[in-house]
Amino acid sequence: MQPNIESGNHVLINTLAYGVALGPLVLTRTPIGRGDIVAFERGHGDDVKIFLKRVIALPGETVALSNGAITVQGQPLDETYDLLPDHSSMNAASVPTGTVFVLGDNRAESDDSRSFGPIPQSSIIGKAVFVIWPIGHVKRIL
């Protein structure tokens, strides 16, 4: 997630940002938003890893990349956060119900929805809100 989150940073994840499950009852606080940096699990058993990626497209939307420029629903995506240069392209893809399309901010080096597809919303642990360590890097995540 460079340049916004550096390798080795410790990040505070708000696990209640998108809701809480009380048995079969799920209380939703706020919907997952475009631009949110989410923590999610990927893998199975001993191979489960936690990823941090930025939400680019929501369920039912179509996303495409052309020479590093993103379009959602055929409209250019205005990305106001810091990104490292990327010139990749990807044909248009639909985001299925119950999933979101995520990309890293260092897109040239990121393992994200371009390689493993949209992620299930059920795999999202929470929203990344602060870098909390090391002390000199403490900041709010935008």
Per-residue confidence at 142, pLDDT binned at 50, 70, 90?
A: confident
Predicted pLDDT at 1: 66
- Minimal CA–CA distance to 31: which of 102, 96, 100? 100
pLDDT at residue 134, rounded to an integer: 79
- Calculate mean pLDDT across residues 121-138: 88
116: part of which helix (H) or strand (E)? Answer: helix 113-116
CATH class of domain segment(s) 10-140: mainly beta
pTM of the model: 0.87
Query: pLDDT tens, 82-120?
Result: 888 899 999 999 999 999 999 999 998 899 999 999 999
Confidence of residue 78 (pLDDT cuts 50, 70, 90): very high
Residue type, 40: F
Structure-derived torsion over alpha carbons of residues 44, 48, 51, 57, reported in degrees to the nearest 10: 10
Q: Provide the pLDDT for residue 131.
A: 82
Tokens 């606080």 label which residue? 29
- Which long-range CB contacts under 8 A does 90-94 form with residues at least 24 apart? 90/63, 90/64, 90/65, 90/114, 91/64, 92/62, 92/63, 92/64, 93/62, 93/63, 93/64, 93/118, 94/60, 94/61, 94/62
Place of tokens 């999933």: 99
For the chain, give every domain's residue range. 10-140
- 91 CB contacts (<8 Å, ≥6 apart)? 64
